[in-house]
Amino acid sequence: MNRTLPQSPSRKWFVFSAVAFAYFFVNFATFASLGVVLFTMAGELNWSMTAAGFTFSLLGLACGLSSTLPTMAMKYIGARGSMGIGAALFFFGCLLASMSHSLLVFDIAIAMLGAGYTFAGNIPGVILIAQWFDRGSARLVGIYLMVGALGAAAAPPTVAFVVRGIGWRGHWHLLAVAAAIVGLTCLAFVRDNEHDAVTTSDQAGDAQAQPKTAWTEKQAIRTPQFVILTAALVLAMAAVTTVNGVVVTHLVKLGSSPITAAWALGLLSFTGTLMKGGAGHLCETRSPKAFVVAGLLCQAIGCALLIVATNAVVEFAAAIIFGAGWAFSFVGGWVLLMRYFGGTTGARLLAIVQLVTTVGAAGPIGAGLIADRWGTFTPIFVIFAVLLAGLALPALLMRAPNAQGDAKAPEYGTQAVAEPA
């Protein structure tokens, strides 16, 4: 297992830079870029759109079903070992993808990429941020998520340019080289730092913080707070996945032009990306619970506006509000897990949340079935608006737990900020 090291002003920033670089890469190399390269591959290899489209579901399933493996691996080989495994899976998966002639071979490669995402992505990344940063972890989690979103945003135009220039096999070769660089970077700079694994959340330095008994993952998952936060994160992600998949078609059906609808989708993604960094910073001095509640309500309002988005003003307003809600609920939920259950335990709980989030892949399928039955996507937006708004109430009433199940521990801030019980 990796030798744990004391904190130092420079080392922790090397660790953060390495995990942020890895997160940028895994987001760049998976969901955001797959559709671009797959279009060319399917045409050249004569794959049906149905068969090729299955690879998206397979990638999501591989990510979700392998999400508990990194935390188990980290107990024995540390975060550096986990991220090294992730980079290796990416390297060999990309090489295998570059040699694909049959759909079966490509699906095996995609499954390797999905597993590689969990080993090198947000699970070890957030755990390391929680371990290394006594103060400012909420802000850095927000920046970390923003960097990952930037990787996803940069992928489509970059991949399209690369595929046009050197072909889809060349694209996978370049990704294999990049995966090797990511792996070497992680091996060089990632180190575990477990000196404050129990109280690593930002409660350290909070003048109102009370000593907490160390939470275990088994204790945490039995609390109503974990159930509510998991529901919020899963529902928020399902809404994002569904909206991204159907919003352009929905807006065009309402009379929008394809270009305007595409701009609205781009504005949604841009807002979510930008706001993630800002939300993490604000969670330092404001209640993350307030951001979860505000995020759920904003997503609900965004869905409601999309129902009546018959002009560009309403479309863009819906995109901005929904994008901001996505960022607030996602960052606030991640930060609250670390605040409520301790930095390291809370970060490890993300693996369980990510496993449950796999069910969110059913959102676009449900939207398609609804559209086929009623000829419109409006019912799916109504359903999400109601569910998101309804979940905001228990999130608002949620109180911070302690190991005895009481609600006395403060939940936020590196400063003493009072919040009504």
Pairwise CA distance, residues 399 & 409, whole Å: 9
Pairwise CA distance, residues 131 & 123, whole Å: 12
> How much is the pLDDT for 420?
31
> DSSP code of 215?
P
Place of tokens 């493996």: 69
Pairwise CA distance, residues 142 & 327, whole Å: 9
Taking the chain (421 residues) in runs of 10, the rounded mean pLDDT of each run is 54 92 93 79 80 75 85 87 95 95 92 94 87 78 86 83 92 97 94 57 36 69 91 89 79 86 82 81 81 95 93 92 91 85 77 76 73 85 95 92 50 34 29
- Reported as type and span, the H/E element at residue 168 is helix 137-189
Pairwise CA distance, residues 220 & 208, whole Å: 22
SS3 9: coil
Pairwise CA distance, residues 99 & 243, whole Å: 34
- Sort residue 405 into left (φ over 0), alpha (ψ -120 to 50) or beta: left
> How much is the pLDDT for 387?
95
> How much is the pLDDT for 276?
82
Return the biggest CA–CA distance within the chain.
64
Pairwise CA distance, residues 302 & 63, whole Å: 28
CB of 396 closer than 8 Å to CB of 293: yes
CB of 9 closer than 8 Å to CB of 193: no
315-354 burial string, b = 16+ CB within 10 Å, else e?
Answer: bbbbbbbbbbbbbbbbbbbbbbbbbbbbbbbbbbbbbbbb
> How much is the pLDDT for 188?
93
Q: Hey, what domains does the chain have and what are their CATH numbers? A: 11-189 (1.20.1250.20), 217-397 (1.20.1250.20)
End-to-end CA distance of the chain: 42
> How much is the pLDDT for 411?
44
> How much is the pLDDT for 49?
62
User: Two tokens at 246?
Assistant: 């159907």
Per-residue H/E/C for 236-304: HHHHHHHHHHHHHHHHHHCCCCHHHHHHHHHHHHHHHHHHHHHHHHHCCCCCHHHHHHHHHHHHHHHHH
